[in-house]
């Protein structure tokens, strides 16, 4: 994402995106990922479609949707209103999806770039599992 994209975003989103994560709760490390947070007439429908709308209050729960470039929902996480989400976990998940798409291997839970992966074959996967304690 470049500065032109950021300039077109709603003010609260733009501000949040530029804040340093560790110091004040922003998401500056995710600046290269596309995000949709604009408040438009379609937002309530999107929230309803993905099950994050709290209709009785007219607000959405804290939903994180990772949708790939083909429009396929790859991850959905919904937190209650007072609970935050992890920028590091979001980045890890995006990297895992990108890795599996490129290499065709399986990223185990907690995988990080450079960690071992699982070959999607019964015999070949035994190599990964034999290394686990």
How confident is the model over 107-120, as pLDDT tens digits?
Answer: 999 999 999 999 99
Model pLDDT, residue 35: 55
Average pLDDT of the residues in 61-89: 86
Contact (Cβ atoms closer than 8 angstroms) between residue 102 and residue 110: no
Output the six-digit token pair for 11. 């003010």
Encode the chain in three state secondary structure: CCHHHHHCCCHHHHHHHHCCHHHHCCCHHHCCCCCCCCCCCCHHHHHHHCCCEECCCCEECEEEEEECCCCCEEEEEEECCCCCCCHHHHHHHHHHHHHHHHHCCECCCCCCCCCCCECCCHHHHHHHHHCCC
Q: Is the dihedral of CA 59, 53, 41, 1 positive or negative?
A: positive
Cα 74 from Cα 57, distance rounded (Å) = 28
Average pLDDT of the residues in 26-33: 54
Q: Which of 9-18, 30-39, 43-52 has the lowest mean pLDDT?
A: 9-18
């Amino acid at each position: 994402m470049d500065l032109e994209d950021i300039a077109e975003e709603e003010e609260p989103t733009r501000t949040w995106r530029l804040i340093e994560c560790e110091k004040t709760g922003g998401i500056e490390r995710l600046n290269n990922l596309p995000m949709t947070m604009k408040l438009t007439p379609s937002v309530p429908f999107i929230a309803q479609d993905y099950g994050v709308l709290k209709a009785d209050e007219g607000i959405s729960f804290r939903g994180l949707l990772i949708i790939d470039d083909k429009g396929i929902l790859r991850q959905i996480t919904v937190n209650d209103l007072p609970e935050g989400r992890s920028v590091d976990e979001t980045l890890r998940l995006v990297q895992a999806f990108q890795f599996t798409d490129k290499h065709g291997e399986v990223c185990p839970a907690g995988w990080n770039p450079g960690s071992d992966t699982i070959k999607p074959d019964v015999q070949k996967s035994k190599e990964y599992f034999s290394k686990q304690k």
